[in-house]
Amino acid sequence: MDKEKLQTYLSEGKEAVDRVLKSYIPSVKCEPSLMYEAIRYSLFAGGKRLRPILCLAACDAVGGRREAALPFAAAIEMIHTYSLVHDDLPSMDNDAYRRGRLTNHKVFGEGIAILVGDALLTSAFTLIVEKGCLGSVSPKKVLAVMLELGSSSGSAGLVGGQLADLQSQGKKEMDMEKLLYIHQHKTGALIRASVRIGGMLGGAPQRRLAQLTRYGEKVGLAFQIADDLLDLEGEEKEMGKSVGQDQAKEKWTYPRLAGREQAKKEARRLVDAAVEEIKTLGPEADPLRQLANYMIERRK
């Protein structure tokens, strides 16, 4: 798969996920209208949809039916968007720009932004219950996926990582073990879960799922290191958010702890190791291989 084909794969995946999201989130003509306006503002603001695309690619890689995985992929994106809306709040990261526009609380106010996050998180699970069983997915598998998604998003995953990140702010010291804990939970957990969920829905046997899990862990970490590097070297216009924020807020990042060059080397090493984990999969796993590279080569 060359770069052009990957771009097509990414845009087709994004379109498919957006179709599900657009049909599931009520229009602004429905009540409470302000709620749907605020949800749609952040959900359809131009996110890359990397997590749902990873989910679909993992399903493709093990020969599953991507149609069946689509509602789950969309649910993952809803959880990701909720986490961004909450992360931008003044009590968290206090950011003014996200996805190329003002953050949710800047437009709608803090209270509504909190509710947008709450609604996206809860609706992710109602979407799975309402749409997940429509295809060939058994109720037992739907429950297993809900457990995976809930545990990776909660205090043992995303939320726990965010807590550790909040606690680390302003601290004079940091070690690699603590930093990796933050990255593996705040960013890595949902990425790992996205890949695993795609594999589970695609019917991957345990051995395959273990390979996909290790792929997801490595790619998740590489993604975060690349994100830290983009904050140092990226273009504000392309990224749709303010850059240089980590330094301004004295955040602990991989490049700050290990140096920029070492961070680049580590991101590359992780991507190569992730691809190695899935080497026994056939050409159906090519998008997954290309996506691993895209994680660190992207410019936004």
Distance CA 161, CA 69 (A): 27
Using CB under 6 A as the binding rule, whether residue 158 contacts ligand GRG is answered as yes
> Which one of 82-90, 137-145, 172-180, 204-212 is the stretch in contact with ligand GRG (CB under 6 A)?
82-90
Residue length of the chain: 300
* Helices 66-87, 110-131: inter-axial angle, 10-degree rounding: 170
Per-residue contact track with ligand GRG, 202 to 231, x per CB under 6 A?
----------------------x--x----
Q: Which segment (17-25, 76-84, 144-152, 202-210) binds ligand GRG by CB under 6 A? A: 76-84
Token pair listed for 201: 């829905």
Q: Which stretch binds ligand GRG (CB under 6 A): 64-72, 81-89, 202-210, 254-262?
A: 81-89
Which residues 226-285 are close enough to bind ligand GRG by CB under 6 A?
227
Residues 97-136 that bind ligand GRG (CB under 6 A): 99
What is the dihedral angle through the alpha carbons of 68, 61, 52, 216, rounded to the nearest 10 degrees? Answer: 130
Kind plus residue range of the DSSP H or E element containing 101:
strand 101-102
Six-digit token pair at 275? 């691809």
Residue 234, φ and ψ in degrees, nearest 5: -80, 170
> Which residue in 14, 86, 105, 289 binds ligand GRG (CB under 6 A)?
86
- Residue 65's φ and ψ, nearest 5 degrees, are -95, 115
HSE-up of residue 267 (Cα within 13 Å, Cβ side): 27
Of 178, 149, 150, the C-alpha closest to 166 is: 178
Calpha distance 191→153 (Å, rounded):
10
By CB under 6 A, name the one of 56, 58, 83, 182 that touches ligand GRG. 83
Chain residues 161-180 in contact with ligand GRG, contact rule CB under 6 A: 162
Helices marked H in 88-109 — which ranges?
104-108
215 or 294: whose CB is closer to ligand GRG? 294
In the bound complex, what is the minimum distance in angstroms from residue 184's beta carbon to ligand GRG? 12
When CB distances to ligand GRG are compared, the closest residue is: 47
Annotate each residue in 23-52 with x if it binds ligand GRG (CB under 6 A) or - if it does not, as one string: ------------------------xx-x--
Enumerate binding residues for ligand GRG (CB under 6 A). Answer: 47-48, 50, 80, 83-84, 86-87, 92, 99, 158-159, 162, 186-187, 224, 227
